[in-house]
Structure 1
Amino acid sequence: MRESLGRLEFNFPWRSYQANLLKNFDNHISDNHFHVIAPPGSGKTILGIEIIRKLGEKTLVLAPTLTIRNQWEDRLQSFFTKNGTYQSYSFNIKSPDDITFATYQSLHAFYKTFEDKNDYYSFFETHNIKTLVLDEAHHLKNEWWNCLIDLKNNNPFYIVALTATPPYDSNRTEVSKYFMLCGEIDDEIAVPDLVKETDLCAHQDFVYFSKPEDLEINFIVEYRRKIADFKDKLLNDKTFISFIKQHRFFDEPKAYLEDLYSNAEYFSAILIFLNACGVTIERYKLEILGFNGKETITFPTLQLEWLEVLFQNLLINDREQLLEHEPYLLRLEKELRSINVLEKRKVNFIGEDSLYKSLASSPSKLKSIVSIVSSEHESLKSDLRCVILTDYIRKEFLDTEEVDTQTINKIGVIPIFQYLRVHFSNKETLAVISGSLVIIHNTILKAFNLIEDCDSFTFTPLPVDNEFLIVTSKKRTKHSIVNIITKLFENGAIKILVGTKSLLGEGWDAPSINSLVLASFVGSFVSSNQMRGRAIRKDANKLNKTGNIWHLACIDNTVLNGGKDVDTLRRRFEAFVGVSNNNEPYIENSFERLQFPEHILDETIETLNLQTLKEAINRNDTIKKWDQAIVKGSRLLKETKIFHLGELTYKKQKQIYYFDVIRFFVAELSFAIMLFYLEFVFKSIHIVLNRGVVYFLYTFFAAFLISFGYKLYKAITLYIRYGYLDKKIKKMGIVILNTLFELGFMTTNKNSVTIVSKRIDNGDIICDLIGGDLFENALFSTALRELLEPIKSPRYLIVKTSLFRRRLNIENFYPVPEIFGDKKKNVLVFQKHWRINLGMNKLFYTRQIEGRKLLLKARLFHVYNAFNKISKQVTVWK
């Protein structure tokens, strides 16, 4: 251990969750990686310094911003020394010390100065740097990644990665790179632990809905109408139908089997489109894909998603194979561009991008913000500390005099400020801060001067309202202005602060925030969790502080699910856990915990908003719900939820997620038989009297078979095919668990682990692993979800078989989870446990001809649900 690091010592007692994390550190660092998820307020920086001390090696600490970099040095001096006397540190990466604090940008700039990268590697070797600490490691999705992974691949390091939110919602390549650098997640500090220890305050998320303005509604309706007209015209376009019928996949499928196997969606879209046009699909075209003559195929309706698949391939992905039709394809391309369906090589008939931009920046949200701030001010009075974060400044609205949705038609810092300036009664407590613009009310100049001499700044009256002043520094940096505004906010001179998420979303610390409005379009896990973290920190001056986090959504009433803006909000809620909003509170990471109805209609929006404002005022209820929910668990677990879906299918066969149709069918059949029996006996007494009991029994059985023979056959077939859903899911869970144990993925004692599968009130099934550690729980949940999801491109398929199944023409296909599918010997272990728990089966390798043929058939069985979400992973406090 380096001498200076040995002199460091934490000056305070560790919190219980910090002590537990450090207790397991030696086991986790055995692979030279320590990857920790720790939410804002958990003492992540302090834990990082303690880990540096434990490792005892010369260290480079990397942070995303100068503010966060400086916090490391501040925490080091404040918590690990007696009088801030530690000297063996550096802020200059070119002159490293025992601990060097730098930013990712500075490392990247340093990396680029080396023409010969061997000199770059040698620099770290020469200076004996052996530990790399990556703070807020989720930032490593961009070009900073290259200089780090290059360094890691050529020098041996301890890698310590600290983050509040891994970038799970990034693309597969970026996520893979992230984990390649940081290693698998070793430990996690849970938000409920922090609330329990009062290191985070009790908090709740609230959603305020708005209706689009008339112009936006007209835009949406017109957009949908153009798409509908295009689709109707296409179904009767003989030229296009003829063009599709000549496509090689339809005209000569036998000659292009390999292409069909690799792009099942494309082939499916062709068949579904032609079927919708009334074209007869020859039997042999399905038989060559694995269907036999006895199977009945029922095609789904032509959804817009299928048109997307069709045109994305015709105009982009498959275009090189259609060069002889290029003049016609150009016509189609021009037509799609004219209705805004084709943009940047992407076909989109749903209008997600176009409509989302309209709804996400809807000026109707400006009215929502005024309502929220007014309600919060009425409730908290002088205690209100409200921050509103958004994406853009929109300086073009700075001199706008008429404040309405006609003149201010975009959301941003200045539009929000203007609306609050005009429509909020206590405007003297309002301020604006961004990287290039600061506005305050003239009544706080005295408070401003007490913090910093006003002579160092220029104060220019706002043209549309001279009570407000634009603040410009004569010589100081923007960081000093941020510090001044933060102090004014903390002491209450400013109560409502409008700013950009880029400036205040990460690294900014103002513990007094008790109301946060997220007026940002960003729905990524990382950004939304970082912004939300501003409001849930505890306030040493307000021990009973609660945080209200407000989310805004503009409803698209032309679709049942509320539209893309609501979809983005649902995704945002995947990023964090919170307490539910019902009488029996629980802690989970889902939008559903807020108990909103599935379909939000125009006529219910006002009622929902009034109810939400009423709930937000009752802050003591938030504390009570956290207290009730926390005692129900001890840690966060991954849980697989299988959604209750409708019964429409591509072929008249139902997959795993339709098993429970049996329960209702058998109940219906039993009731009908009982009524039949009573009625038959009542009506047939004369047969017993005239012909005798034996003749009566013959008559009864004949009538029974005529009435119920087919239904009994159907019931038996359904039972063989499906069974009961929750029981089947549990058996699948046992298969996965036993395979994990046999292959050595599980280290917990087997007797301590159980699988629980049950139906919840809305018809969904939940299944989780009880007793495993966090890593084991995540492995199990991921494997189960892969097994249940629509089939994409697994290496192996497992098919249930039996004598009855062959006779009744029943097949169920399941993808072997990726964790087992990488090696044949692992797949065979999975197959063995499947046979023990779920019966006979066959295994197919999908990278060979027979397997690829079966894979395409399996995909077609799932084709109706190709665009539906079948299951999801939820994080639950248990």
Structure 2
Amino acid sequence: MMWRMPESAPPAEPDPAPAAAWATVTYPRQFRTHQRQALDAIDTAVASGARRAWVVLPPGAGKTLVGLEAARRVGRPIVAFGPNTAIQGQWLAAWREFTPAALPAGTARDLSAPVTALTYQSLANFDPDAEVDEDGRAHLPKAGGKRRGGLRDRLHDNGRALVEALENAGPVTLVLDECHHLLEVWGRLLAELLEDLPQAHVIGLTGTPPDTLTAEQSRLVDELFGSPLYSTSIPSVVREGNLAPFAELAWFTEPTPTESQWLAAQAERFAELRTDLLEADTEFLPWLDRRFVSRPVSGLGAESPAVAWSRVERDEPERAAAALRFHHAGLLALPPGAALREEHRVEPTADDWVALLGEYLTARLLPSSDPDDQAVVEKIRAALPSVGYQLTKRGIRRGRSPVDRVLARSEAKTDAAAEIMAAESDALGSRLRGLVLCDHERASATLPARLRGVLDAEAGSARLVLSNLLADPRTAALEPVLITGRAVAADAGTARKLVAFVAEHAPEIELDEILPDAVGAVDVTGQWSSRRWVPLVTRFYETGAAQVLVGTRALLGEGWDARGVNTLVDLTTATTPTAVVQTRGRALRVDPEWPEKVANTWTVVCVSEEHPGGAGDWHRFVRKHHGYFAVTDNGEIASGVGHVDPWLSPYAPPPASTFADENEAMCARAQNRARVRELWQVGTPYRDELVHTIRVIPTSQARRTAPREPEPGAPQPPSWVSAREAARRPWPDLGAGPAPPRRGLAALATAVALIVGAVGVVAGLWWLPVAMAAVPAAAWWRWVSALRAASLAAGRELAALADGPDPLAFGYAVADAMQDLGLSERGADAVSGVVEADGSYTIALNGVDMETSRRFTTALDEVFAPLTAPRWVIARFVTDPLPDDDAVRAAGLAWLRRTAEPNAIVYHAVPAGFSSSSARVNAFVHAWNRWVSTGLATMMTGPVAESILATHRGADPFAATTALRIDWS
């Protein structure tokens, strides 16, 4: 945490009379848990002499009250800035809740009121004629720029007057709401301004997590505020009951037939290029092999191939990932030292081809004077625009992609919005309060000539969404209303109701009459602006007179509040963390009229399999969910698309053939709001910590159809583990097991009986030999029975090993090895596993910091992965399945007699984190023998290593696939 005290002047104390007045005003209700914690953090900092603070609270957590109360406690005039007029109004309304109403609030730029609420635009009201140079380029100095040539010199007169008022107001408290907006030009201005306000206290409020900022943004925020004093997450506020539980859902669609036909035609040229490049007589694949597989490794000394490849991934991440996807597609051998991770086990994308083609062009084709090479250059030049790229003098550059525009604004997405609202209406009836958010009201740019006849001119607009909703009888009955910064529109019948509503609740506003013969969508016009129609239309909507609002992210995506919103359909293209958090925050307000409210947030995703760039909208969907936490269908709270459906991968969309089933499953989940609320466990304890997890999906049918819940309590090492000959108990007691019955006792009993019988014959006691004959018979019968029982028991233990270790056993081994080496405070006792109905596991190491949990999941992922070029490998013995009881008994008997045939062997990589020293390798072997299998580690050098890699490279040592994720707890 960083705090700065100005060195030029000592802090000035507020005048006693105003301070006393501030102390008499209080907030009449209790603050929520997170509000109290944030206020305590600010109080502590202020008491220590700090003047700048920054707290992170998600939308709906009560940032406004925190800002006002923190500023009130400072005891100085308050000037609060927000990004729009809606938030400005919220500040005024919130201050009116403080009692007694002795200190008024206002919006005057002369700061005459004790509390002033302004917008950032009122401060940064630049003169448009001075904003750009002759070429249209803006000159925006870096944060902290000096007054001469800085932003202050380019302010409009109104903005300059406000700056002077701030400088003349004396010591004030500036509250900067939604301060992520300071990352724009306003922040650079404030950096200059605050240099001249050394006595001001500054409190920043935002819902955007600090770890999502870029390096430049972080630098600016650090200059303005220092490190955040307090931060909490959306899940923690939901657990407290101060935000509504919610489910993240998706509707998957393909482009319309017309759009698909156009996309297929666009893809033909790039497909032809790929075919040409893969011809046997072309140089592309051999060049790739020289570049990534047989590449010369110079200057790396004795570094292992894995270290050398890690440098490639560090220096050229996009090309390295593309090369590994080419390997997955069978187009390239595996580069030495490389390991395939989840993101590599997908087909190469158009971006992957372009990443490799770019260097191939500059390194191989462009310097060549060969006419054949130049012909290939021209083919590449002609094909690149079809995937959104262009070949320029400086190489391949990304351009505006018409393909991405078709996917982002596909008419299928507006149709999907209607389907979602119809399904939600069936589930909620009159309770439905839906919101559809778009990027724009109307298409602002002229449709490119090549897209005419492919896309509607209004494609992706709020106007088109309204039109579609009104055209469908199921959603027309919901009386949707369009509301943007420029217009209000609805069906004529709904518009008449709205006009009457405004006349009743705001009679001073004169609206134009809706003509009696008007039908279809009409605009509601009159003497009003967005400042007036936003609150009025919102009230109209909350009464249920309109059950769906269609609006733009600019107006309704931030600062707008309607507590009843319970269904949000996101049609926007914004993927920044700020936009995602703010957009979803519209639906998360707690509804006093429905305490059991659960919100559904839908993202519509359009994917085309007709085009190599057809996953662009999918990757936008992935970026939206990256770093955003929501509940999964099994109760985890996870980041990424896995919380929509655990089978979704961030690296590739599901097949289009599954879309209908996915949408049906999404609708079923949407209807079961009670289950979503139960999964969130509102009111239960939490740690508000992040933990890395690994999802393990066994491909063994037996395991997937018969999942087993982990045993309660601390895990115990298994009684048996697989071994070379059959099975043994865990290390170090490798010789223990079911003891075979002692045949020697039966033999001794037989010998004694014979001797006694012989004595009886000599003595003439004829009955004694007969009696003694029963003794060895009984002894031998008992021995045979015991042998059968022991062999059956041993065989059943062996049969249980045929499926291989439980996935959790691998996790226990990794955790214990980390603990033994001091790499983790917790071992196997801290490993948790959630087992799904399909047999997949989600495994995590709990009670450790996030970096330790990351190391754990990374190491476990390496254990499960097919062999590539590890430094060390460790053996795991594999027992054969036993088909029937006779085989079970025979195997057990062979084990008891130590005559079993040697078991097959597979090799797993010793994770890189355990491969750096013999002590670390030994610790891993010790844990491996305890939980998984007997077996030793082998260093991958010499003929033995070559033999192992020749027979096992690329083989899956454990029948499972993996996916790394981040969960909240």
TM-score tier, shorter chain, comes to: 0.5 to 0.7
Asked if residue 69 in structure 1 is aligned to residue 117 in structure 2, the reply is no
Secondary structure at the aligned position of 1:473 is classed as: coil
Contact residue 88 and residue 98 of structure 1 kept, 8 A: yes
1:36 to 32, 38, 55: 55
Q: Is the deviation greater in 760-769 or in 487-496?
A: 760-769
CA distance in 2, matches of 1:273, 1:602: 21
2:505 to 451, 461, 464: 451
CA distance in 2, matches of 1:787, 1:131: 50
Match of 1:510 in 2: 562
Secondary structure at the aligned position of 1:466 is classed as: coil
1:49 to 59, 68, 83: 68
Contact residue 311 and residue 347 of structure 1 kept, 8 A: no
Asked if residue 874 in structure 1 is aligned to residue 966 in structure 2, the reply is yes
Secondary structure at the aligned position of 1:522 is classed as: coil
CA distance in 2, matches of 1:264, 1:430: 50
TM-score by length of 1: 0.67
CA distance in 2, matches of 1:62, 1:339: 45
How far did 1:734 drift? 8.4
How far did 1:637 drift? 1.5
1:473 to 514, 523, 526: 526
How far did 1:640 drift? 0.9
CA distance in 1, matches of 2:164, 2:262: 60
1:340 to 373, 377, 387: 387
CA distance in 2, matches of 1:468, 1:803: 70
CA distance in 1, matches of 2:318, 2:630: 41
Secondary structure at the aligned position of 2:670 is classed as: helix
* Offset from partner CA, 1:788-829 (integer Å, 9 cap, x none): 999xxxxxxxx989999xxx999975699xxxxxxxxxxxxx
Q: Which amino acid aligns with 1:606?
A: A
Q: Is the deviation greater in 490-499 or in 617-626?
A: 617-626
Asked if residue 11 in structure 1 is aligned to residue 53 in structure 2, the reply is no
CA distance in 2, matches of 1:245, 1:727: 39
CA distance in 1, matches of 2:287, 2:216: 34
How far did 1:158 drift? 4.9
Secondary structure at the aligned position of 2:588 is classed as: coil
How far did 1:508 drift? 0.9
CA distance in 2, matches of 1:511, 1:482: 14
Contact residue 736 and residue 783 of structure 1 kept, 8 A: no
1:492 to 538, 541, 544: 544
Q: Which amino acid aligns with 2:30?
A: P
How far did 1:507 drift? 0.8
Match of 2:593 in 1: 541
Secondary structure at the aligned position of 1:457 is classed as: coil
Contact residue 341 and residue 348 of structure 1 kept, 8 A: no
2:180 to 105, 118, 138: 138
Q: Which amino acid aligns with 1:188?
A: S
C-alpha change, 1:729 and 1:232, in structure 2 (3 Å) is: farther
**Percent identity (aligned):** 20
Secondary structure at the aligned position of 2:381 is classed as: helix
Asked if residue 579 in structure 1 is aligned to residue 631 in structure 2, the reply is yes
CA distance in 2, matches of 1:872, 1:129: 51
Contact residue 759 and residue 766 of structure 1 kept, 8 A: yes
Unaligned runs of at least 5 residues, structure 2: 1-12, 127-139, 154-162, 302-307, 339-343, 446-452, 700-717, 730-804, 863-869, 876-906, 927-952, 956-960
C-alpha change, 1:232 and 1:469, in structure 2 (3 Å) is: closer
CA distance in 2, matches of 1:815, 1:132: 52
CA distance in 1, matches of 2:661, 2:909: 49
C-alpha change, 1:344 and 1:506, in structure 2 (3 Å) is: farther
Match of 1:81 in 2: 99
Secondary structure at the aligned position of 2:575 is classed as: coil
CA distance in 1, matches of 2:332, 2:636: 53
Contact residue 640 and residue 871 of structure 1 kept, 8 A: no
Contact residue 630 and residue 637 of structure 2 kept, 8 A: yes
Q: Which amino acid aligns with 2:72?
A: R
How far did 1:489 drift? 1.1
Match of 2:6 in 1: none
Q: Give the 5 Å matches for 1:200-239.
A: 200-236=243-279
How far did 1:159 drift? 4.5
1:419 to 461, 468, 485: 468
CA distance in 2, matches of 1:328, 1:541: 69
CA distance in 2, matches of 1:222, 1:514: 41
Match of 2:620 in 1: 568
Q: Give the 5 Å matches for 1:613-628.
A: 613-626=667-680
Match of 2:480 in 1: 430
Q: Which amino acid aligns with 1:234?
A: L
C-alpha change, 1:872 and 1:357, in structure 2 (3 Å) is: farther
Contact residue 386 and residue 403 of structure 2 kept, 8 A: no
Q: Give the 5 Å matches for 1:806-825.
A: none
How far did 1:106 drift? 3.5
Contact residue 440 and residue 462 of structure 2 kept, 8 A: yes
CA distance in 2, matches of 1:809, 1:368: 46
Q: Which amino acid aligns with 2:103?
A: Y
* Offset from partner CA, 1:350-377 (integer Å, 9 cap, x none): 9996654333322122322222222333
Q: Give the 5 Å matches for 1:114-153.
A: 114-115=147-148, 127-129=169-171, 131-151=173-193
Match of 1:101 in 2: 117
Unaligned runs of at least 5 residues, structure 1: 292-298, 398-403, 648-662, 675-718, 739-749, 791-798, 817-829, 841-861
Q: CA RMSD in A?
A: 5.8
Q: Is the deviation greater in 524-533 or in 440-449?
A: 440-449
Larger Rg: 2
How far did 1:387 drift? 1.7
Contact residue 63 and residue 134 of structure 1 kept, 8 A: yes
Q: Which amino acid aligns with 2:384?
A: R
CA distance in 2, matches of 1:266, 1:469: 50
* Offset from partner CA, 1:72-112 (integer Å, 9 cap, x none): 2321232x2323x31477642x6587655333333334899
C-alpha change, 1:223 and 1:350, in structure 2 (3 Å) is: farther
* Offset from partner CA, 1:471-518 (integer Å, 9 cap, x none): 2234x3221122221121122222222111111111111112222222
* Offset from partner CA, 1:396-442 (integer Å, 9 cap, x none): 99xxxxxx998688232111111111112444722211122211333
Contact residue 433 and residue 499 of structure 1 kept, 8 A: yes
Alignment coverage as a number of residue pairs: 725
How far did 1:233 drift? 1.0
Contact residue 238 and residue 245 of structure 2 kept, 8 A: yes
CA distance in 2, matches of 1:53, 1:246: 67
CA distance in 2, matches of 1:736, 1:128: 56
CA distance in 1, matches of 2:421, 2:332: 61
How far did 1:639 drift? 0.7
How far did 1:606 drift? 3.0
Q: Give the 5 Å matches for 1:232-271.
A: 232-236=275-279, 240-241=283-284, 244=287, 263=315
Q: Is the deviation greater in 229-238 or in 44-53?
A: 229-238
Contact residue 132 and residue 158 of structure 1 kept, 8 A: yes
Secondary structure at the aligned position of 2:209 is classed as: coil
Contact residue 360 and residue 554 of structure 1 kept, 8 A: yes
Match of 2:242 in 1: 199
Q: Which amino acid aligns with 1:82?
A: P
Match of 1:756 in 2: 830
Contact residue 860 and residue 911 of structure 2 kept, 8 A: no
Contact residue 431 and residue 498 of structure 1 kept, 8 A: yes
Secondary structure at the aligned position of 1:429 is classed as: coil
